[in-house]
Amino acid sequence: MNKVVKKLIYCLLQILVTGAFISCNLNEELDSVYGADNAYVTVENAQEGVNGIYRYLLTGTHPAIFYLNDMSTDACFKSGSDYEIMNDNNLSGNIDVARAYNGNWQMAGCANSAIDNINLMDDSQFTGNKKQTLLAEAHFMRAFAYYQLTNIFYRIPLITNGFYDAAANPVLATVEELDKQIEQDLLIAANALPKSWENKEGGRPTAGAAYGYLMRLHMRKAGYLREQGQDATLSWNAALNYANNVIGTNQYALQPTIWDVFDPTSEAALYNNEIIFAVRSSENIPSGSSDIALYFTPWYYNYGWDIFSIPLEFYWKFDPADERFSELMVGEYTDVYDPDKLYKVPADINETGTLNNETGSPVVVELAQAYTDKYFYEKAGSYNYNTPNNLPLLRYADVLLCKAEILNELNGVNQQSVDLINQIRRRAFGNDSHNYLVSDFSSADDFRNVLCDERLFELHNEGVRRIDLIRMGLWKDRLDEYMDAIKAKVEKKEQNMGIAPGSLSAEWSVYAKFSNNALKKYDKRRYYPIPKVYSSKAPDLLNNRSFAEE
């Protein structure tokens, strides 16, 4: 069997990982089920081909989306990681960079195969709008994969041929070519996808999801244009149109509390209508489950793996009255094995380095980081890693904040933008006492800065922070601020511990701001190198992060 047919068959038979679908057991060799003569023959084949695309929705996002888009910023922390400083040490060979690249390319490849082959099938085989809907799903998933890839790697090859020869030597497409393809695919999806799916098939995209990613795409375009000193009005207006289209579907709403968005304990909560598009997980299907909850919790709190945590520099920014702090932030917990041991975050920078000196019971252990319960592990101690937690990829709160940003970019400080941000804050604080007034902002730049922080409070560790900072032109600003705050914290810790200045300098000196390789406004380190396993075979891929100005 030739490699093109093998690829087609492989894409047909992928086991779906989202909770919306049922996985199957294959007890035969793949070529005994489908061959060159019977792949994409029936409507059932076409459905299987589309279903197979979703296998890579999880592998293309988790855990890479957190490593690459949150840990590389002020939103997420892991001691000893390369991601925060965006250095190039081994990143081209890093497994999480490779996962993001491979998973999204596999998703795009299966979508290409489905689109090409379903288009070849006779329309008379399908009833109603079944063919158009299947194609719309495939176009959306291809657009999603390319959107993810271009967010992470900036420029990549553009391949839309389902029978592409894997031995070919790909070259990088232009930003304009890539954006045009993503937009075309999303428009096809928006025109044919339903507003909602029956039977809670929440893992499938809707028209609202397509509109949402069109909004994000045009916002990204506008950010590029502003960075280049060009007029971005058309792109901002297009983004506004699609934001309004999402809202106009009347399918989505803010949940009453922030916990309701992430609550993994009931099916009703898991399918809440704030979530527009997500990686869905089913705890009842091993091949469809996600271990996401284990990544965000430490062992002695909730038997987790302690992969992602919250920087103290971010934790200390929260208003204690904010439910995004009181309900989701974990800054204190009792040891699951020893009730006389309490893990605790310093209350502020002035307390850092002092808690281990406390005596009495319980014994206090000072934490160098906090944690989030956005992905709460509800099965602590069970050693059951088939958790039901969603990984939200787009939710309604994000759309409202995006619309506030768009209107500010178009009109300057305005009442509607302020009202939109206040919708989010009203839920966060449970009242109007923390609402903003138009008079609180002196300029569009001032509002953008405040909105950037609000997006951090609301959307941290949802895979959008690095993308936000680049679009808003605040990537260098916020990372420099973050590095300064780390240095100040460590120096205060040395002072409080009574040790020589510089004793703990290794905790801050590794950061780019304090080296000869400091961050630049248009720094190529905002994006990742294409994995070496590919760039070594196709040299043009080495240039994926080349900008007009560095």
User: In sequence order, what DSSP letters do the residues of 316-361 get, joined into one string?
Assistant: TTS-TT-HHHHTTEE-EEE-SS-TTEEEE--SSGGGTT-GGG--SS
Residues 261 and 402 in one domain: yes
- Please tell me the predicted confidence (pLDDT) of residue 203: 83
pLDDT confidence band for 38 (50 / 70 / 90):
low
Confirm whether 282 is domain-assigned.
yes
Residues 369 and 411 in one domain: no
Confirm whether 206 is domain-assigned.
yes
Alpha helices in 80-206 (DSSP H): 95-120, 130-153, 175-192
CA atoms within 13 A of residue 325's CA, in its CB half-sphere: 14
Residues 449 and 323 in one domain: no
Q: What is the pLDDT of residues 335-357, one digit of tens each?
A: 999 999 999 999 999 999 999 86
Residue for token pair 């035969």: 28
Confirm whether 539 is domain-assigned.
no
**Contact call for residues 239 and 93 (beta carbons, < 8 A):** no
Last residue of a domain, one of 473, 497, 520: 473
User: In sequence order, what DSSP letters do the residues of 400-446 get, joined into one string?
Assistant: HHHHHHHHHHHHSS-HHHHHHHHHHHHHHHSSSTT---GGG-SSHHH
Q: What is the pLDDT of residues 457-492, one digit of tens each?
A: 999 999 999 999 999 999 999 999 999 999 999 999
Q: Is it the case that residue 1 has pLDDT exceeding 60?
A: no
Measured between alpha carbons, how far is 498 from 488 in angstroms, rounded to an integer? Answer: 15
Confirm whether 450 is domain-assigned.
yes
The residue length of the chain stands at 550
Residues 316 and 452 in one domain: no
Q: Which of 162-171, 279-288, 373-382, 418-427 has the weakest average pLDDT?
A: 279-288
Q: Is it the case that residue 18 has pLDDT exceeding 70?
A: no
Number of domains making up the chain: 2
Q: What is the DSSP letter of 393?
A: E
Q: Is it the case that residue 288 has pLDDT exceeding 90?
A: no
Q: Is it the case that residue 31 has pLDDT exceeding 70?
A: no
Query: What percent of the chain has pLDDT above 90?
Result: 74
Per-residue H/E/C for 242-303: HHHHHHHCCCCCCCCCHHHHHCCCCHHHHCCCCEEEEECCCCCCHHHCECHHHHCCCHHHHC
pTM over 0.85, yes/no: yes
What residues contact residue 163 under an 8 Å CB cut-off, 6+ apart? 4, 8, 113, 116
**Contact call for residues 123 and 170 (beta carbons, < 8 A):** no
Q: What is the DSSP letter of 501?
A: T
Residues 296 and 323 in one domain: yes
Confirm whether 417 is domain-assigned.
yes
Q: Output the six-digit token pair for 135.
A: 């194609």
**Contact call for residues 12 and 45 (beta carbons, < 8 A):** yes
DSSP reduced 3-state for 500: coil
Confirm whether 66 is domain-assigned.
no
Q: Is it the case that residue 399 has pLDDT exceeding 60?
A: yes
**What is the distance between the terminal CA atoms of the chain, rounded to a whole angstrom?**
47
Residues 398 and 278 in one domain: yes
> Region 99-128: what's the mean pLDDT?
95
Confirm whether 153 is domain-assigned.
no
Confirm whether 257 is domain-assigned.
yes
Residues 262 and 325 in one domain: no
Measured between alpha carbons, how far is 406 from 240 in angstroms, rounded to an integer? Answer: 6
Residues 245 and 322 in one domain: no
Residues 279 and 412 in one domain: yes
Residues 270 and 217 in one domain: yes
Last residue of a domain, one of 385, 403, 427: 385
- Please tell me the predicted confidence (pLDDT) of residue 376: 94
Residues 223 and 349 in one domain: no
> Region 280-308: what's the mean pLDDT?
81
Q: Around Cβ 475, how many Cβ atoms within 10 Å? A: 24
CA atoms within 13 A of residue 425's CA, in its CB half-sphere: 19
Report which of residues 234 and 34 the model is more confident about: 234
State the DSSP H helix or E strand holding residue 364, giving kind and residue range, or none if neither. Answer: strand 363-366
Last residue of a domain, one of 320, 355, 385: 385
Residues 273 and 397 in one domain: yes
Q: Which amino acid is at 142?
A: R
- Please tell me the predicted confidence (pLDDT) of residue 6: 39
Q: Check which CATH number belongs to the domain holding 412 and give it.
A: 1.25.40.900
What residues contact residue 74 under an 8 Å CB cut-off, 6+ apart? 311, 313, 314, 456, 465, 478, 479, 481, 482
- Please tell me the predicted confidence (pLDDT) of residue 26: 21
Domain, as residue range, for 228: 194-288+392-473
Q: What is the pLDDT of residues 401-434, one digit of tens each?
A: 999 999 999 999 999 999 999 999 999 999 999 9
Cα torsion angle, 483, 484, 487, 489, sign: negative
